[in-house]
């Protein structure tokens, strides 16, 4: 069965690009444009990995991550933060909350992001 990846990203263009790239690699993709609908999908679907942006309308990514890790049903799903924040405090906060990795969008190509996903899923 194909592994399923959720992308939580409010910028539609970026979301489309990375979704296309991930689909090319043979994964199933779900998409959410804000934290609230992201959390809803996380509860309803069985996911193998979550790509999470931090600055989101409404509930922000840090809060989404906190909720995922607090719920025993979802706590084991690996979360990779994909954000344009990237100061030391942000990275420390994300990693402390239980993220697998912290990728700054402007510093990684789609191919490099796929690499990180593969390493995490293996």
Partner 1 sequence: MTQKTNDQEILAVSKIISIFTDGILFFDQSNKLVLMNKEAEKILNISKKDVIRKKIIELIGTPYLENIVGALLSGRKKRWEEEMEINEKIINVSFVKNNGTLIVLHDITKEKMVEQMKNEFVSIVAHQLRTPISSIKWTLKMFLEESFGRTTKEQKKYLKKIYTVNEKMVELINDLLNIAKIEEGRYVYKPVSTNLGRLIDSTIEQFKEKAEAKNIKISFNNLEKNAKVVVDPEKIKLVLQNLIDNAIKYNHEEGKVMIALKKEEDNLLVSVKDTGMGIPTNQQKRIFTKFFRAANVMKTDAEGSGLGLYINKELIEAHGGKIWFESVEKKGSSFYFSLPLQKNKNKIK
Interacting residue ranges for partner 1, rule: CB under 8 A: 11, 13-14, 17-18, 20-21, 24, 84-85, 87-89, 104-107, 109-111
- Nearest approach in angstroms of CB 60 to partner 1 is 14
- Nearest approach in angstroms of CB 97 to partner 1 is 18
- Nearest approach in angstroms of CB 44 to partner 1 is 28
Judged by beta carbon, residue 71 or residue 115, the one nearer partner 1 is 115
Judged by beta carbon, residue 69 or residue 108, the one nearer partner 1 is 108
In sign, the C-alpha dihedral spanning 120, 84, 35, 95 is: positive
Q: Of 49, 67, 59, whose CA–CA distance to 114 is shortest?
A: 49
Work out the angle at residue 33's Cα, subtended by the Cα atoms of residues 47 and 94, and round it to the nearest 5 degrees: 65
**Dist. CA 85–CA 115, nearest whole Å:** 21
Report residue 108 as tokens. Answer: 């990684």
- Nearest approach in angstroms of CB 10 to partner 1 is 9
42: Cα separation from own chain's centroid: 11
Fill in the DSSP letter of residue 106. Answer: G
Judged by beta carbon, residue 74 or residue 84, the one nearer partner 1 is 84
Judged by beta carbon, residue 77 or residue 108, the one nearer partner 1 is 108
């Amino acid at each position: 069965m194909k592994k399923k990846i959720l992308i939580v990203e409010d910028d539609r263009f970026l979301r489309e690009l990375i979704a296309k790239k991930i689909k090319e690699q043979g994964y199933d993709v779900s998409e959410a444009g804000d934290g609230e609908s992201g959390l809803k999908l996380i509860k309803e679907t069985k996911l193998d990995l979550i790509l999470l942006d931090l600055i989101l309308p409404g509930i922000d990514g840090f809060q989404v991550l906190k909720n995922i890790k607090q719920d025993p049903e979802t706590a084991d799903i690996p979360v990779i933060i994909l954000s344009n924040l990237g100061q030391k405090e942000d990275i420390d906060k994300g990693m402390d909350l239980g993220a697998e990795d912290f990728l700054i969008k402007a510093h990684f190509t789609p191919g490099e992001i796929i690499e990180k996903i593969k390493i995490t899923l293996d």
